[in-house]
Amino acid sequence: MLNRLFPHPIMTILLTAVWCLLVNEPKLGTLVFGLILGTVIPFATAAYWPNRPRIPRPHLMLGYIAIVVWDIIVANVVVAAIVLFKRNDRMQPNWVSIPLDLRTPEAITMLAGTITLTPGTVSADISDQGHALLVHALDARDPDAVRDEIKQRYERRLKEIFE
Amino acid sequence: MTYSLGDIAISLALVIGGAFVLVGSIGLIKLRNPMSRLHAPTKAGTLGVGSILIASVIYSFAYGEGSLHELLIMIFLFVTAPVSAHFIAKVHIHRDQTEQKLPKPPADTDWATKHTHARDNGQVGGQIGDQIGTDADTLS
């Protein structure tokens, strides 16, 4: 019953939050209308989303976001220093290939997005069966170190959240 | 003339944001090949825009009713920026303009965008696969 009314609970929360932010006025009416939208939209479109992505441990997401934001700030400073002070011929752009332990498409998408958002690395391609990521690094003498860091820092945590 | 704490915070956030957008633009000019240049806008798009939006949030709370609109802008930017970067990277791979050769994928037969290491003939990588790949290229 509850499952039929709220086919996608996380989407309900997300829609309500987005509505409240869009209206941008802290009133009770906003929240109520947001909740109505958050209930009606997933209910009406449930037929088009037959498989709900499974997120077994969504609460770990907050810690993950905090780590990513911190890494973005640190990497920004590092890459800014590289761009401003390092001569072009000293730079060593490199391809890094990362074998994936993640299997769900949502988790792989999150990992690829995270890699692109942290400056210094851009995810460029995925292997044809989806078991490896191709990443371009701006300045990496040692591609293996970049690979290990991404696997240790992001992939391990995403695996906890999604699988 | 005195400045409130809010004013100082706002101007600090604005200056930091502006500096990172500037560094991103300098990167676009300075870096040599297209794949490296792709790294420059990720800076302007994350910390640059992020801290300008934070300045806007602080301003609205200090001088107005307060607003958190900016969070939405940040979320949408963070969701869409990797997609465009990904597509630009794919175009470069397609056009064979990458400086270095692509590495072989550690798993599976090849990368999804372009088959450079092996053709779809059952040969998995290795010298034979490369040989057939180059032959097919010269024929076409």
Residue B41 confidence (pLDDT) above 70: yes
Give the model's pLDDT for residue A140: 80
Which residues, at least 6 apart from A48, have a Cβ–Cβ distance to it below 8 Å? none
CB contact under 8 A, A123 and B89: yes
Query: Domain coordinates of chain B in residue numbers?
Result: 5-100, 103-140
Q: Residue A149's pLDDT band (boundaries 50, 70, 90)?
A: confident
Which residues, at least 6 apart from A157, have a Cβ–Cβ distance to it below 8 Å? A60, A63, A64, A67
Q: Within the 45-84 window of chain B, which residues sit less than 8 Å (CB to CB) from chain A?
A: 46-47, 65-69, 71-72, 78-79, 81-82
Q: Residue B134's pLDDT band (boundaries 50, 70, 90)?
A: very low
A9 to chain B, minimum CA–CA distance in Å? 20
- A59: tokens are 């609460």
A interface residues, B as partner, C-beta within 8 Å: 18, 21-22, 24-26, 72-73, 76, 79-80, 83-84, 88, 91, 93-100, 112-113, 116-120, 122-132, 134, 136, 138
Q: Which range is most confident: A75-84, A145-154, B51-60?
A: B51-60
CB contact under 8 A, B85 and A120: no
Q: Which domains does chain A have, with CATH numbers?
A: 2-48 (no CATH), 60-162 (3.30.70)
Residues A41-95 pLDDT 10s: 888 888 887 777 777 777 888 888 899 889 888 888 888 888 888 887 778 888 8
Query: Rounded distance, CA A23 to CA A16, Å?
Result: 11
Query: Rounded distance, CA B100 to CA A126, Å?
Result: 17
* Pick from B42, B35, B38: nearest CA to B98: B35
Give the model's pLDDT for residue B125: 42
Residue B139 confidence (pLDDT) above 70: no
Q: Write down the mean pLDDT value for chain A.
A: 84
A94, β-bridge pairs: A137
Residue B131 confidence (pLDDT) above 60: no
Q: Within the 12-31 window of chain B, which residues sit less than 8 Å (CB to CB) from chain A?
A: 20, 23, 26-27, 30-31
Query: Rounded distance, CA A112 to CA A125, Å?
Result: 9
Question: Residue A25: how many CB atoms within 10 A of its CB?
Answer: 10
Give the model's pLDDT for residue A141: 80
- A145: tokens are 């170190």
* Pick from A140, A143, A136, A142: nearest CA to A92: A140
Between CA B126 and CA B135, with CA B132 as vertex, the angle to 5 degrees is: 140
A109 to chain B, minimum CA–CA distance in Å? 10
Q: Which residue of B has its CA nearest to A71?
A: B47
Model pTM above 0.80 = no
In chain A, the largest separation of any two C-alpha atoms, in whole Å, equals: 64
In chain B, the largest separation of any two C-alpha atoms, in whole Å, equals: 78
Give the model's pLDDT for residue B130: 42
Place of tokens 């006025």: A25
Burial B13-50 (b: 16+ CB within 10 A, else e): bbebbeebbebbeebeebbeeebbbbbbbbbbbbbbbb
Interface mutation target, options B25, B76, B78, B98, chain A, most CBs of A under 10 Å: B78
Which residues, at least 6 apart from B4, have a Cβ–Cβ distance to it below 8 Å? B62
Beta strands in A20-87 (DSSP E): none
Give the model's pLDDT for residue B115: 62
pLDDT > 90: what percent of chain A? Answer: 2
State mean pLDDT over B24-43.
Answer: 82
Residues B90-115 pLDDT 10s: 888 888 766 677 777 777 777 777 66
